[in-house]
Structure 1
Amino acid sequence: MNIFYDENMPFAADFFADLGVLTAFSGRDLSAADISDADVLLVRSITKVNEALLQNNKTLSFVGTATIGVDHIDQDYLADRAVNFCSAPGCNAVSVAEYVLSALVVLAERYLITLSGLTVGIVGAGNTGSRLSEKLSALNIKHVLCDPILAENSVDKRNFVTLEQALSCDVVSLHVPLTRTGPNATYHLLDAGRLAQFKANQILINACRGEVIDNAALLKIKQQGHTLKLVLDVWENEPNILSALIAYCDITTAHIAGYSLEGKARGTEILYQALCRQLDILPNKQLTDFLPISAIGTIEIKQEFDEILLNQLVKMVYDVRRDDAIFRQQINIQGFDHIRKTYPTRREFSSITVNLNNASSLDVPHQLGFNK
């Protein structure tokens, strides 16, 4: 069995070595000729899997994307060809939530903002929005959830607000899939009209899909002097982004919010398990077999947990300013894809054990995801 996989899938060679002959490829450069004899194709979000890519292939039986988004996959075409498909919902949800938290910590320090005094509107309450909600709850930060689809689901008992209510919060964090049709389509969800309604000094964070915001309209209101604070991890037309927008952002990164080692590797593990099910074999490998020991093992907290300690703890694990600096320095020299391909290893909170020697800390670090 010929298994082709994106070279940026951590531990793919380890997981799939026993299942077939492995070939790694560059996700942006993959062509129809490259995979003409593939039985299994494993991709990430930068590879569009459609009829054009698969036109020369007659042997494909399984396609997997190690991502939560599926807008790069022509699922109808795969179904017509009876090719099984699997995505990795929730694999990097924790990573994205921690990216948002790091951004909030950095902006709070930069602008002397008290986090506990903010209201956060989470637009999209699936896996990622839910993980962010849990971390904000741990910090007692007020937030609301907006998700019209889940709001109509009688099984989900959470309270939901309208989009207009969510967009009126101090912080708006976007976590929706990219959809282009239907009553809840998210393409240009924030268009010129909605962007114009933002108040001065609100914070807008986009760590889902670039096309959810009309980037040209966003640039226009910023050029007109709007003081909306921007955190952009995703951009329209990646990798050929609207570079003029960078100067107007507080934090800019190259679609790496979900790029923690754990987040990417969970996607690999999910696809491995799915392929094993298709082959009717028992999985005998798991992610913990391959994750390295964290450079920082254990931290002891001997004081009451407060926002200063939160700032120190979060940035000790992940300081988003590093990725912002890399982006600004390299985007016009190395390019968007190079930044992603050479992304330094980043760990999640769970890679570090936190010991509490003060009962008044109320276990906040562990609620945030740090290991006990």
Structure 2
Amino acid sequence: MNSLRIVADENIPFVEQVFGSLGQVTTLPGRTMTAAQVAEADVLLVRSVTAVNKALLQGSRVKFVGTCTIGTDHLDIAWLQQQGITAASAPGCNANSVVQYALAVMALLRPGWRQMTVGIVGCGNVGDRLRQKLLALGVQVHCYDPWLTPQQVPQLTSLEVVLGCDIVCLHAPLVHTQPHPSWHLLDLPRLQQLGQGTLLMNAGRGAVIDNQALKTVLASRRDLTVALDVWEPEPLLDLELLQQVALATPHIAGYSYDGKVGGTVQIAAALCEHLGLEPVADLKTLLSADASSHQSLAWSGHEGGAGVDAWLNDAILATYDLVGDDSRCRQALLQADGELARARAFDELRKHYPKRREFDSFRLGALPDGLSATEKKSLNQWLATLGMSRQE
């Protein structure tokens, strides 16, 4: 078994520890992998920045491709199947991470989000997880996903209704083909449909929004607020657009430590199944060994009389330094000298992303003073819905 040659993206956590028992692991920068580098590999492990297709793999020994991500639009699935190459992804591995990002964006940019309407485009693993959390938190939700039915998602409606919501969250995969392409789904006419004061966020795929059209709209619609985690194109995103949006992050909404480790474990399980072996890694064991798995939630504090919603926002933002992500992204990309340096800076932000833990890594101690018994009960319920548990 150790004769297997495994080439992997260097940003996959625990890749040598988890896959080392299955073969010889070589790690490389994912965006710049070449056909020559993977020609002698039996197994290829990637993330979303590597295009896996005929150009990369023709003539290689690769028989298994695993992407430690939810999305698969960077894999030429049809060609891989034609070649008899097994392909596996990690559906749902970082869904909670993206939900954490989305709620943090709302908490930061729309503090009264629980009283607003939220529209979700794309109800796959991420969008559906967000839908369920929002409903449990008492939020009115509308969803658009042409691949699903009202029996699967009761909140399904038209795209026009979703675009009329106070907050619009994009979690759609990138699809170029009929019958339901998502490429430039939000083009100039649809962007112009956004209601007065809308918060638009994209944490799916950059090209679901026509980024040049978005620039045009933002130049005249100062009432709109935009948060982008994904861009068109990456890594050479448009610097003018970067400066127009309220929040800019380098495709890291799903980059929680938990999500990345989860992706590694899921792909390891898929490879073991492909090889007829028992799984070699367990997510709970890998995560629980980390000291950051049992953190006490640090309340930042409000002035007396702050409503219970303000404390909920405080708790969400205490788990995730979204402002720091935005600041590092802007500083690195705006200071980069030339396109090559900018592309490198984008990838370096991802490679050296700070360890971010999801909601269920945080433990609750005493609730803030100044809240009534009813407010404390509501806050306890909301935080439990997010996944936070009581301090033991």
Provide the residue aligned with 1:29 in structure 2: 32
Q: Which runs of 5+ in 1 are unaligned?
A: none
Kindly indicate whether residue 220 of structure 2 is the aligned counterpart of residue 233 of structure 1.
no
Equivalent residue number for residue 208 of structure 2: 212
- Corresponding residue SS for 1:128: helix
Stretch deviating more after TM superposition (284-293 or 316-325):
284-293
Residue of structure 1 equivalent to 2:370: none
Which deviates more, 291-300 or 305-314?
A: 291-300
Retained in 2: the 8 A contact 1:36–1:54?
A: yes
Of 244, 247, 250, the match for 1:251: 247
Contact 2:163 2:195 in 1 (8 A): no
Moved more, 171-180 or 116-125: 116-125
Q: CA deviation at 1:242?
A: 1.3
Q: Choose from 248, 262, 270 the match for 1:274.
A: 270
Structure 1 partner of 2:178:
182
* 1:128 matched to 2:126: yes
| Inter-partner Cα distance in structure 2 for 1:13 and 1:351 | 25
Alignment partner, residue 198 of structure 2: 202
Where does residue 9 of structure 1 map in the other structure? 12
The alignment yields a C-alpha RMSD, in angstroms, of 2.1
Report Cα offsets for 1:198-239 as digits up to 9, x if no partner: 222111000000000000011011122442110000001101
Q: Distance in 2 between matches of 1:224 and 1:211?
A: 21
Displacement of 1:336 after TM fit?
1.4
Which SS does the other structure have where 2:6 is aligned?
strand
- In structure 2, the residue matched to 1:339 is 349
- 1:348 is aligned to 358
Alpha-carbon distance between aligned partners in 1 of 2:168 and 2:379, rounded to the nearest angstrom = 28
Partner SS, residue 147 of structure 2? helix
Percent identity over the alignment? Answer: 41
TM-score (norm 1): 0.93
Task: Establish whether residue 170 from structure 1 lines up as the match of residue 188 from structure 2.
Answer: no
Task: Pick the aligned partner of 2:63 from 37, 61, 66.
Answer: 61
Give the direction of change, closer, same or farther, for the CA distance of 1:224–1:44 in structure 2 (3 Å limit).
same
Amino acid at match of 2:118: V
Q: Secondary structure of 2:278's match?
A: coil
2:258 corresponds to which letter in structure 1? E
Q: Secondary structure at the match of 2:120?
A: strand
**Deviation digits for residues 104-131 of structure 1, max 9, x if unmatched?**
11112xxxx4222210001111110111
Deviation at 1:247, TM superposition (A): 1.4
Match of 2:256 among 253, 260, 276: 260
Cα deviation for residue 133 of structure 1 reads 1.4
Deviations 1:26-84 (A, max 9, x none): 00111011011100000000000011111341x21100101111111011111111010
In structure 2, C-alpha distance between the alignment counterparts of 1:362 and 1:263, rounded to whole Å: 25
Write out per-residue CA displacement over residues 159-206 of structure 1, whole angstroms, 9 at most, x where no aligned residue: 311111111000000011100111211000000110111222111000
Q: 1:347: Cα distance to partner?
A: 0.7
1:315 aligned partner: 317
Matched residue of 1:2: which SS?
Answer: strand
The offset of 1:299, in angstroms, is 4.2
Paired with 2:158 and 2:259, the residues of 1 have a C-alpha distance of: 30
The CA deviation at 1:300 is: 9.2
Q: Separation in 1 of the partners of 2:164 and 2:378?
A: 34
Segment drifting more, 80-89 vs 126-135: 126-135
In 1, are the aligned partners of 2:297 and 2:318 still within 8 Å (CA)? no
Quick check: 1:364 aligned with 2:389? no
Contact 1:192 1:214 in 2 (8 A): yes
- DSSP-derived class of the 2:364 partner: strand
Partner of 1:100, secondary structure, is helix
CA shift for structure 1 position 304:
11
The residue number in structure 2 matching 1:19 is: 22
Alpha-carbon distance, 1:17 to partner: 1.3
Runs (5+) with no aligned partner, structure 2: 300-304, 337-341, 368-375
1:91 matched residue in structure 2: 93
Distance 1:346 1:360 in 2: 26
For residue 34 of structure 1, give the secondary structure of its aligned residue in structure 2. helix
Q: Which amino acid aligns with 1:288?
A: K
- Displacement, 1:137? 2.2
| Partner Cα distance (2:297, 2:354) in 1 | 23
The size of the alignment, in residue pairs, is 365
SS of 1:47's equivalent in the other structure is: coil
Instruction: Name the structure 1 match of 2:78.
Output: 76
Aligned to 1:191: 187
The 1:360–1:49 alpha-carbon spacing in structure 2 relative to 1, beyond 3 Å, is: closer
Give the conservation status (yes or no) of the 8 Å contact 1:148–1:184: yes
Mapped to 1, the partners of 2:155 and 2:116 lie a distance apart of 19
CA distance in 1: counterparts of 2:36 and 2:153, whole angstroms: 49
CA distance in 2, matches of 1:347, 1:192: 37
**Cα distance in 2 for residues equivalent to 1:360 and 1:330:** 40
User: How does the TM-score come out when normalised to structure 2?
Assistant: 0.88
**C-alpha distance 13-241 of structure 1, shift in aligned 2 (>3 A):** same
Partner Cα distance (1:12, 1:119) in 2: 41
Shift of 1:297: 2.2
Instruction: Determine helix, strand or coil for the equivalent of 1:195.
Output: helix
